[in-house]
Chains A and B, each alone.
Chain A
Amino acid sequence: MGTAYIVGLFVILIIYGPLAWGLYKLSKAETGL
């Protein structure tokens, strides 16, 4: 696998990781109301 693919996967993880975590926490708080 080329280096750019590995870097790309890493970039996706560090951006989408916090986004998914935050959205999950917001949704959880919403349904808990």
Chain B
Amino acid sequence: MIFLPEETWKSRVGFVAAAMGSAVGLGNIWLFPMRAGLYGGAAFLVPYLILLFLIGVVALTVEFTLGRAAGGPIEAYGKTLPGGKYLGIFVNAMMLMIFAFYSVVVGWALRYFVTALTGKLLSVDPGSFFGSISFSTEAAVWQFIAIAITIGIVIMGVQKGIERACKIMMPGLFVMLIILAIRSITLPNSYAGLEFYLLPDWSKILSGKTWMIALSQMFFSLSCMGMSNVVYGSYIKKDQDIPLSAIVTAFGDTAVAVTAGFAIFPAVFAFGLEPTAGPGLVFVTLPVVFQKMPGGIIFAVIFFLLILFAAFSSTVAMLETNVQAATTHLNMSRKTATILFGLLAFVIGAPGAINPTYFEWIINISTVYLGPLGALIAALALIKLGIDKAYEELRKGALIAVPAIWKPWAKYVYPIVVIIVYISQFIVG
């Protein structure tokens, strides 16, 4: 049975912009550079790039190919795995939970962007400001606005909404990131930041933990959880490329992460601040940098706008996953499904906007304990679909040759690596 989607991407570049947008998120901005700095500097890129080629690109081809061959998660798993329809519903529920807590963080970023626009970000104490706006009723209001903007994009459809928005947001994000990186590197006393970020410590790449961290970082950065990538794959036309798009998506995602390190660390070191502040780097440390930097308000506006571009290009993929399921299986219109699931995400996430304990719980359940199982479900579904059939599907419209080793790699190596990634979550956090 041939799967024919109701909606498709208009162009190859449009699909790549959307897939890259889905992958690029807040983790690219603060987590990758910090891990690179702590685990070997430029030497961290050696395991990262090896794994990106051997596992990351394969992971994307697996999920895109499964989607194009069999449809979104509920159809793809339903056709291939026993009880697969329920597994599809399960991954959709996980996606809704991820969207619910992610929208809380996007709400914080929106609040910061507006505060930067009005110029007030320069006169607040960043630590107290973050404390006052996060985990409050106000945070729930900003979360609602973040969801409303996401609804506004998704409701317009795959081509006119998601694809068009990502074709604007992704180039914009790169331009802004490069501007910030140049400003950061040219600050006085910024060189120590570059040294922290880049000078290779080769002893670190002999450590298994560094490889585990690189694997885990790469996997989640590419959003390989058998959810949105499968849905985006289902919108790829038969004459459109998958393998080259997977490579471009993987390298684009890495380019944002690597460039973020150039934008952040030289500036953080130039003003003598703590480089390993975790998520607080974005909401507390960097606002201090902007306060101390000449013309800082302009760079603050640029920075939080690029954070919003990274965030919204991800949230549209999250909401679209549920919308695809609802329009296909519940016979809903796109408009009804988008509003309904957007509101559901608000209802689930709003308590997390107010209560930090619930916020942490919903993150752990959806991204650490249950979400990664989606990648394993997708890997198994592809095997059950038939590896030869999947290989033929992957080669349709391909702009580059796909070596035959992809078949045993996707069938045997990849599922084992997914299990290792899942276990590593509990080891490396």
Residues of A whose CB lies within 8 Å of any CB of B are: 2-5, 7-8, 10-12, 14-16, 18-19, 22-23, 25-27, 29-30
Known A23-B16, A29-B12; contact A7-B198, beta-carbon cutoff 8 A: yes
A29 to B248, CA, bound (A): 14
Interface members, chain B 255-271 (any A CB < 8 Å): 255, 258, 262
Q: Tell me which of A4, A14, A23 contacts B248 (CB under 8 A).
A: A23
Check A4–B244 contact: CB distance below 8 A.
no
A22 to B244, CA, bound (A): 7
A26 to B248, CA, bound (A): 9
Which residues does chain A contribute within 8 Å of B255, judged by CB atoms?
15-16, 19
A11 to B255, CA, bound (A): 10
Min CB–CB distance B244 → chain A (angstroms): 6
Q: Tell me which of B199, B262, B400 contacts A3 (CB under 8 A).
A: B199
Min CB–CB distance B164 → chain A (angstroms): 15
B383-406 vs A, Cβ < 8 Å mask (1 yes, 0 no): 000000000000000011000000
Known A23-B248, A29-B399; contact A4-B194, beta-carbon cutoff 8 A: yes
Number of interface residues of B (CB under 8 A): 28
Residue of B nearest to A4 (CB): B194
A4 to B193, CA, bound (A): 9
B191 at the interface (CB under 8 A from A): yes
A15 to B49, CA, bound (A): 9
Check A26–B199 contact: CB distance below 8 A.
no
B231-256 vs A, Cβ < 8 Å mask (1 yes, 0 no): 00000000001001101100110110
B158-199 vs A, Cβ < 8 Å mask (1 yes, 0 no): 000000000000000000000000000000000100110111
Known A15-B254, A15-B258; contact A26-B12, beta-carbon cutoff 8 A: yes
Which residues does chain B contribute within 8 Å of A22, judged by CB atoms?
244, 247-248, 251
Known A4-B199, A8-B198, A14-B49; contact A27-B13, beta-carbon cutoff 8 A: yes
Which residues does chain A contribute within 8 Å of B252, judged by CB atoms?
19
Known A4-B199, A7-B199, A19-B252; contact A30-B11, beta-carbon cutoff 8 A: yes
Known A27-B13, A29-B241, A30-B11; contact A4-B191, beta-carbon cutoff 8 A: yes
Residues of B whose CB lies within 8 Å of any CB of A are: 11-13, 16, 41-42, 45, 49, 191, 194-195, 197-200, 241, 244-245, 247-248, 251-252, 254-255, 258, 262, 399-400
Residue of B nearest to A10 (CB): B42
Which residues does chain A contribute within 8 Å of B248, judged by CB atoms?
19, 22-23, 26
A29 to B237, CA, bound (A): 14
Check B49–A26 contact: CB distance below 8 A.
no
CB pairs A–B below 8 angstroms (19 shown)? A2-B194, A2-B195, A7-B41, A8-B194, A10-B42, A11-B45, A11-B198, A11-B258, A15-B251, A15-B254, A15-B258, A16-B255, A18-B251, A19-B251, A26-B241, A26-B399, A27-B13, A29-B241, A30-B11
Chain A contact residues: over half helix, strand or loop, or mixed? helix
Min CB–CB distance B401 → chain A (angstroms): 13
Q: Tell me which of B12, B197, B198, B254 contacts A30 (CB under 8 A).
A: B12
Known A2-B191, A11-B42; contact A26-B198, beta-carbon cutoff 8 A: no
Residue of B nearest to A6 (CB): B198
Which residues does chain B contribute within 8 Å of A11, judged by CB atoms?
42, 45, 198, 258
Which residues does chain B contribute within 8 Å of A14, judged by CB atoms?
45, 49
Which residues does chain A contribute within 8 Å of B42, judged by CB atoms?
7, 10-11
A3 to B197, CA, bound (A): 12
Residue of B nearest to A3 (CB): B199
Min CB–CB distance A15 → chain B (angstroms): 5
Check B13–A23 contact: CB distance below 8 A.
yes
Known A11-B45, A18-B251; contact A4-B195, beta-carbon cutoff 8 A: yes
Check A7–B200 contact: CB distance below 8 A.
yes
Which residues does chain A contribute within 8 Å of B258, judged by CB atoms?
11-12, 15
Min CB–CB distance A17 → chain B (angstroms): 9
A15 to B87, CA, bound (A): 36
Known A4-B198, A15-B251; contact A26-B13, beta-carbon cutoff 8 A: yes
A16 to B195, CA, bound (A): 21
Which residues does chain B contribute within 8 Å of A12, judged by CB atoms?
258
